[in-house]
A and B are shown apart, each in its own frame.
Chain A
Amino acid sequence: MIQAAFVLLYLAGALYIGIFAFGKSRGDSAEDFFLAGRSIGSFVFVLSLFGTHMTAFSILGASGYAFANGVVTYGLMASSSALIVPITLYFLGTRLWSLGKRHGFMTHVQMFRDRWECGHTGTLIFVVQAALLVPYIIIGVIGGGTTLEVLSGGAVPYWAGGALVAVVVMSYVFFGGMRGTAWVNTFQTVLFLVFGLIAAGVIGEGMGGFAAVMERLAGSPSTAPLLTHERVAPLYYISYMFIPLSAIAFPHIGIFCFTARRAKQFKYTMIFYPLCILAVWVPSVYLGVAANGATDVPEIQRKIEARTELAQAGPDMAPETRQALTVQARGDDVIVLLLNRYAALWLAGILGAGILAAVMASDSQILALSTMFTEDVFAYYGGKKRFGERAQVMIGRAFVIVLTGVAYVIALGVPASIFGLAIQYAFTGYAALAPLLIGALYWRGSTKWGALASTTWVAFAVTGIAVFQHTVAAPAGAPIVVWSFAGLDVLARTAGGTAMLGFLPVVPVTIISTVLLIVVSVLTPKPSQATIERYFPSRRLD
C-alpha cells in the first residue's frame, strides 16, 4: 500500500504540473494550445524531447529484452539512438523548426502539402501516420497497467491501473495542451534520470553486489552469452541502426521540433540526448541482465524456467502451451520485481513512481494525434475557416478524450508484449517514412507522386508484415523459412517477428521506400519553380 500511495502522489504531482502549475494557456489560439506558442526554452526542450521519445519500451521493454538477450540490448537500441536521433535533429529537426517559424507549420503534413503542392497525398500521409501512432499510444496504457499491477502486488488490477494512467494523462493533455505536456514530460524525465541510478545502487546492494552476480552469470554456460552479442545475429544488429530514423518521423517528435523558441535549443538537445540515453539505459539494461542472477525472487525464477522450457521444446509443442510459456517468460516487469524484493517499501514506492514516469509517455503522442487531426483534417478541409480557431481547439480537446478511450479499450485486449508491439509496427513504419522528410527538405527534385508511392508502400508493407505474422505462427526455435530464392532465405518467420534476407523488416521496407521516392519523383512533374525557390533559395545552394 505504501508503494501505491507514492505512485498516487506522483500521479497527483503530474496532474498539478500539467494543469495548474505550468499548463495554463496564455491565449486561445491553436498555436498556443498545440505548440505552446513556439516558446519552449532550452531546459524543457531538452528534457521533454528526451522524455517524449522514451516510453514504456525503454525502461520496461528494454530491461525485459536484456533479461532474455543480454547487454547487447544497449548497443542494439540505446547507443544506436544516441547517434542517429541527434543527427536527425541536426539535419531535419532544425529545418522543420525553421520552416515552421517562417510559414506557420504545425505538423509534418502541412509542410508536405506546401512543399509538394498536394492535398490528398497529404491526407494519405496523415492516415498512415495516425494508424502507426495508435499502437504506440497503446504501449503507454499497457505499461501503466502492468506497472501499477506489479507495484501493488496485484492489489490494483491491470485494467484499473491502465484506466488510472489513461485518465491522468488525458486530463493534463486536455487542460494543459503542449505547455502542460512538456512540463510533465520534463518532470518525468528528471524523475527517471535520478531514480534509475538510485534503483541500480539499491538493487545491487540487495543482491550482494553486482560483481558476485556477474561472476555467477559469466561462470554458467547458459547465462554467459548474456554478457556478449552472442544471442543476436550480425544482420539483426545492423538492422537496429535503421530503427532510430523513426524518431524524427514520429509526429510527436516532429511536432515538438516546432515548439522551440530558438535554434540553439537543438544544439543543447543534440549534446545532452546521448548523455540522457547513457543515464537511463545503462541501469535499465544492466538490471535486466542482473535479474538472471536473482535466485531468491520466485517470479523471476519462474520466468527463467519458462524460457528454458521454450528453448528445449520441439516443434510438437501445442501452440497454447507455447503461448502460455511465452507470456510467462516475458521480462517486462523484472525491474519492478527486483525493486519489490530488494528495496525498502517506501523506497520501492518512490522508485516505482519513477518507473511509472517513464511509462507515461503516451501524453505527447495523444496530443500530436489531436494536433494532426485538427490541423491536417479539420482545418485543412475548411473547419477552421467555418467555425473559428476556438472551435478547432475544442475539437482537439474532444479528440484527446475519444483517442484515450479507444487506446484503453484496445490495450485491454491486446496480448502482444510492449516491446514487440512497438518494434514491429510503429517503428518500422515511421523509419520507412523518414525518407519523405529527407526528400522534402533536401532534394529539389522530389515530388508528390514520389511521396505518394513511398507512403503507399509503407502502408502496404506494414500491413503485410502484420498479416504475415498473424498467419504464420512464431516458431519455438529456429526460424521457419517461408520463401527462399537462389539459396538465400528471403522471408522467414522468427520467434520474435519477421526476417527478410536476415535483416529486420525495417531495412528492406526503408530502402524500398527510398527507391520509390527517388524513381517516381524522377519520372513525374515537379512542383512550381516558385515553391522550389521558397524551400531552396539560391544562396543555400552555394
Chain B
Amino acid sequence: MRKRLLYAAVLIVAVVHQDFWLWDERNLVFGFLPVELLFHSLYTLAVAVLMWLLAKYAWPEDLEEEEDGS
C-alpha cells in the first residue's frame, strides 16, 4: 500500500512539473529570483524528499537479499 502511494506521488510530481499556471509570471521573489526558477528549485528539493521516501519505504526487498549473497 505504502509503495503504491509513493508511486502515485511520483506521477503527481511528474504532472506538477508542467507548471502552466506560471507560464507568463514575471514576478521577482526577493527582488532577484524569477518566480519560475524559485518554483523549480523548490520542486527539485521536493523530488529529493520523495526519493528519500522511496528509498526508505519502497526499496525492492530482493535487492537486500542480493546484498546478503542469496
A residues contacting B by CB (< 8 A) are 71-72, 74-75, 78-80, 82-83, 86-87, 90, 94, 98, 101-102, 209-211, 213-215, 218, 224, 227-230, 234, 237-238, 241, 262-264, 267, 270-275, 277-278, 282, 285-286, 289, 539-540
In the assembled complex, B63 has its CB within 8 A of some CB on chain A: yes
CA distance A80 to B17 in the complex (A): 7
Cα distance A321–B44 when bound, in Å? 41
Q: Knowing that A229-B19, A271-B52 are A-B contacts, what are 18 other residue pairs whose CB atoms are under 8 Å apart, sorted by A's residue number? A: A71-B37, A75-B19, A82-B44, A211-B28, A214-B32, A228-B22, A228-B24, A228-B34, A229-B24, A234-B18, A263-B63, A263-B64, A263-B66, A271-B48, A271-B51, A272-B48, A273-B51, A274-B51
**What are 6 of the A-B contact pairs (CB < 8 Å)?**
A82-B44, A90-B54, A211-B32, A218-B28, A234-B23, A289-B34
Which of B13, B25, B62 counts the most A-chain CB atoms under 10 A from its CB? B62
| Complex Cα–Cα for A90 and B53 (A) | 12
Residues of A within 8 A of B25 (CB): 228
Q: Is the CB of B17 within 8 A of A75?
A: yes
B44 touches A211 (CB 8 A): no
* A72 engages B36 (CB within 8 Å): yes
B54 and A270 contact, CB distance less than 8 A: yes
Chain A nearest Cβ from B62, distance in angstroms: 6
Q: How far is the CB of B30 from chain A (nearest CB, A)?
A: 8
Would you list the 6 A-B pairs with minimal beta carbon distance, nearest first? A267-B55, A227-B34, A270-B51, A263-B63, A211-B32, A274-B48
Given A79-B40, A211-B31, is A229 in contact with B17 using a C-beta cutoff of 8 Å?
A: no
Indicate with 1 or 0, residue by residue over B30-58, a CB within 8 angstroms of chain A CB atoms: 11111011001101110110011011000
- Whether A237 lies near B24 (C-beta < 8 A) is no
Alpha-carbon distance between A211 and B32 when the two chains are bound, in angstroms:
4
Which of B24, B43, B52, B62 is A230 in contact with, Cβ under 8 Å? Answer: B24
**Least distance between A496 CB and chain B CB atoms (Å):** 20
Determine whether B4 belongs to the interface, using a CB cutoff of 8 Å to chain A.
no
Query: Given contacts A86-B51, A90-B54, A275-B48, are A215 and B36 in contact (CB under 8 A)?
Result: no
Task: Give the secondary structure class of A's interface.
Answer: helix
Cβ-defined partner of A78 (8 Å) among B14, B31, B44, B62: B44
Partner of A214, one of B22, B28, B44: B28
The total number of A-B Cβ pairs within 8 Å is 121
**How many Å lie between the Cα of A72 and that of B62 in the bound state?**
40
What is the minimal beta-carbon distance from A131 to any residue of chain B, in angstroms?
30
Q: Assuming A214-B28, A228-B24, A285-B37, is B66 touching A101 (CB within 8 A)?
A: yes
A238 touches B47 (CB 8 A): no
Contacts of B26 in A (CB 8 A): 218, 224, 227-228
Q: Which residue of A lies closest to B62 (CB)?
A: A540
Q: Shortest CB–CB separation between residue A411 and chain B, in angstroms? A: 32
| A215–B28 CB distance below 8 A | yes
Are A98 and B62 neighbours in the complex by a CB distance under 8 Å? yes
Closest residue of chain A to B10 (Cβ to Cβ) is: A87
Q: Is the CB of B36 within 8 A of A71?
A: yes
In the bound complex, what is the Cα–Cα distance between A285 and B20 (angstroms)? Answer: 20
Please tell me if the beta carbons of A228 and B62 are within 8 angstroms of each other in the complex: no
Minimum CB–CB distance for B57 against chain A, Å = 12
CB of B14 within 8 A of CB of A228, answer no
**Cross-chain contact B20 with A214 (CB below 8 angstroms):** no
* Contact across chains for B41 and A83 when beta carbons are under 8 A apart: no
Inside 8 A of A228's CB, which chain B residues have their CB? 22-26, 34, 36
- Most central of B20, B40, B54, B64 by chain A CB within 10 Å: B40
Q: A431 to chain B: closest CB distance in Å?
A: 15
Q: How many angstroms from the CA of A215 to the CA of B32 in the assembled complex?
A: 7
Are A262's CB and B28's CB within 8 A? no
A230 touches B23 (CB 8 A): yes
Structural contact, B63 and A94, CB atoms closer than 8 A = yes
Closest B residue by C-beta to A80: B17
**Nearest Cβ on chain B to A162's Cβ, whole angstroms:** 33
**C-alpha spacing A10/B41, complex, angstroms:** 30
CB-based contact A227/B66 at 8 Å? no
Do A79 and B44 touch (CB < 8 A)? yes
Q: Judge whether B18 and A237 touch: CB under 8 Å.
A: yes
A71 cross-chain contacts in B, Cβ below 8 A = 34, 36-37
Whether B62 and A229, one on each chain, are in contact in the complex, defined by CB atoms closer than 8 angstroms, is no
B22: chain A residues at CB < 8 Å are 228-229
Least distance between B16 CB and chain A CB atoms (Å): 10
**Contact A75–B31 (Cβ < 8 Å):** no
Measured between beta carbons, the chain B residues less than 8 angstroms from A101 are: 66
Taking a contact as CB atoms under 8 Å apart, the answer to whether A274 and B45 are in contact is: yes
User: What chain B residues lie within 8 Å of A79 (beta carbons)?
Assistant: 17, 40, 43-44, 47
